[in-house]
Amino acid sequence: MTSTRDILFTACELVGLRADDAELLHAHSNIVYLLPSAGVVARINGNDHAGLRAKASITITRWLADHNLPVTEPALDHAVDAAGSTVTFWIYYPQHRIDRPSPRHLGEILQHLHTLPAPPFPLPEYEPLVGLVSILATADITPKVLTAADRHWLSRQAEQLVTEYRTLPTVLGRGMVHGDAYAGNTLWTGNKVLLGDWDETSIAPRELDLANTVQARRFGIREEEIDAFLRAYAYDPRDQPLFDALVRMRDLHTLTSYIRRAQRGDARAHTELMTRIQSLQNPATPARWVSA
């Protein structure tokens, strides 16, 4: 298997950027490197969708910026395919402030996003839990990663939530959504907050973009932060059946990358995976989730 650094060097050579001083910033579902000499961030995406989402994110963010939405912007107007991955290059925004952007800032951006006109390019329909359903259907999940009972339980939960997603009514309507909106995808540039990571942009009930922040109770977000987020968005969906399903769907969605990492032998990811599954199966004894 080609290493991510080899993929990075190949992609940078193709676009004329230095990679010898590259610094790893993030390694989870995507791999992110800083190229300090260029002031650029390189994002390496696995080609689960043939790289189409990563490539589309460039067009999407250019259009959003033209509509005055505060977004992270691409450094290059094209992506590079290298060794089965897709690499995109983005402007680097150094984070010098001690405080991080708050959920309130995210709520303001999402309220703006959801009032924009339909974009002049097609967007895919959001596919609920497609990654989890796919990985649960494969034969190569070892019992050390998931027991047969846990695998069966997760499959049934996913099937139920997908049905609810497709049948429960939306109050906010369907339209363009970020698809992975949470405060961790926001950055400062001066005193302005930008929203990044547009790979999951799609058409879905707009409530989807509000679910991640409420689901972040699992990670210790304070209720007053959730309240401030929803006030900034100017709508509170917490009494909606569809929204409840979306929050529970987010719970399951977060397991996908941990299953994959545990399959690769990541012990910390496996420990966190077990914590999450057990707290989902036993709601009376919830556990604090952490990013492993």
User: What residue segments make up the domains of the chain, in order of their start?
Assistant: 1-92, 93-292
Domains 1-92 and 93-292 share a fold: no
Side chain identity, residue 111? Q
| pTM for the structure as a whole | 0.93
Burial of 291 (0-12, 13-18, 19+ CB in 10 A): exposed
Compute the distance between CA of residue 115 and CA of residue 204 in angstroms, rounded to an integer. Answer: 14
pLDDT of 102-145, one tens digit each? 999 999 999 999 999 999 999 999 999 999 999 999 878 888 89
| Per-residue tokens: 270 | 């496996």
CB 54 within 8 A of CB 197: no
CB 198 within 8 A of CB 61: yes
Compute the distance between CA of residue 135 and CA of residue 258 in angstroms, rounded to an integer. Answer: 11
CATH number of the domain located at residue range(s) 93-292 in this protein = 3.90.1200.10
pLDDT of 187-212, one tens digit each? 999 999 999 999 999 999 999 999 99
> Could you count the other beta carbons within 10 Å of the beta carbon of residue 70?
20
Q: What is the pLDDT of residue 210?
A: 98
CATH number of the domain located at residue range(s) 1-92 in this protein = 3.30.200.20
Compute the distance between CA of residue 206 and CA of residue 18 in angstroms, rounded to an integer. Answer: 40
**What would the mean pLDDT of 233-246 be, rounded to a whole number?**
98
